[in-house]
Amino acid sequence: MRRAVLDLASPRPVWAIPDATVEAVRQAFGRGWEIVSVAAPALSDGDGAAGSGEAVQAAHGAEVYAGWGVPPAVMAAGSGVLRWVHTAAAGVGASITPALRATGARLTNSAGVHAEPIADWVLTAIGFWLRGFPAALRAQAEQRWAKDEFTNGSVPVRELAGTRVGIVGLGGIGRAVARRCAALGMEVAAVRRHPTRARPAGVGWVGGPGKLTTLARRSDVLVLAAPQTADTKGLVSAAILTALPRGAYVINVARGGLLDEDALRRALDDGQVGGCALDVFAREPLAHGHPFWRHPRVLVFPHVSAVSARFWARETALLVDNIARYRSGRRLRNLVNLELGY
């Protein structure tokens, strides 16, 4: 019997694999396959890739593995046999290890699965800042009727239509953000690794990574939606933040390592950046006492922008489709380039 391992029993209910998905996977593989669903909890935070003893044991002799990240111990256990490994996370930084490379197994991820809810979060964050919600929340906490502040210009408020949104990265998340922003009349531009490819719907201008300063200069809102790789770590530096129009907003749903957080704090303190919405941080959880917790220009979310009741419907569809592709020898969807890191 050929074996596939599902190591997706997250202790967080929204990410825990449902019985219906296990059965759908079993049906997709069909006869001749043993499907092992690991009961031990699997870390689903960030890029995952912790690995339980039960998962490692199940990986011995397995041909296919799906988990929250790909633990090195699992790869070592399946060395010489594993042919395809899948992560239910979008990020793959913790999964691309020497142990993975040594097996020669193909790696797929779930980037597109998370795009829609994350893009919803980004759009909500844009409205939160542009329409003055932080000022309203502060006034409510003080039981203060702040009509004068909203009508005398003290609180900066603007319409979404005509706002210039710059997107760093045009993968599934970046494209989903662009569609939403364009539909509401925002002017969308972006940078990505391959700028000569056809522009996605809603994007008016696309530049390469070397044009990030140009993008910053023309962005009222800068959205980070690129994977973290050796090339993108620290990409949004103090120089990029200084290039933004004064009072611009920064939204990060990529990884904390893309953004110089110390430079961001200084830019927030002096008003160069008017506000930011951060779902990811260089170190998670965000440390108790960190300046971002109480900063009036920072919206802190605990890396949950992808949360959605529809996740498992999308993830199951991706798994079933890729199982059919794997069995027929066709190219897998969401195949990760190990050299590029996404």
Separation of alpha carbons 254 and 171, rounded Å? 11
Q: How far apart are the first and last CA of the chain?
A: 32
pTM (predicted TM-score): 0.96
Q: In sequence order, what DSSP letters do the residues of 19-43 get, joined into one string? A: HHHHHHHHHHH-TTEEEEE--S---
Distance of CA 201 to the CA centre of its chain: 20
Domains and CATH numbers, the chain: 2-109+309-328 (3.40.50.720), 115-300 (3.40.50.720)
Residue 48: predicted pLDDT: 83
- Tell me what the mean pLDDT of segment 232-257 comes to: 97
Residue that the structure tokens 């991706």 belong to: 318
**Which residues form the catalytic set?**
255, 284, 303
pLDDT tens, position by position, 80-135: 899 999 999 999 999 999 999 999 999 999 989 999 999 999 999 999 999 999 99
pLDDT band at 4 (very low <50, low <70, confident <90, very high): very high
Enumerate the β-bridge partners of residue 5.
Answer: 36, 65
Residue 172: predicted pLDDT: 94
Instruction: Give the contacts of 4 (CB within 8 A, at least 6 positions apart).
Output: 25, 29, 33, 34, 35, 36, 62, 63, 64, 65, 66
Residue 51: predicted pLDDT: 85
Q: In sequence order, what DSSP letters do the residues of 238-272 get, joined into one string? A: HHHHHHSPTTEEEEE-S-GGGB-HHHHHHHHHTTS
The closest of 80, 60, 45 to 5, measured between CA atoms, is 60
| CA dist 332 → 137, 145, 163, 203, 302 (Å) | 47, 57, 38, 28, 32
Helices 115-130 and 133-141 cross at an angle (nearest 10°) of 70
- The total number of residues written for the chain in this structure: 342
- The kind and range of the H/E element at 65 are strand 64-67
Residue that the structure tokens 């097996």 belong to: 103
pLDDT band at 50 (very low <50, low <70, confident <90, very high): confident
Average pLDDT over the chain reads 96
pLDDT tens, position by position, 153-184: 999 999 999 999 999 999 999 999 999 999 99
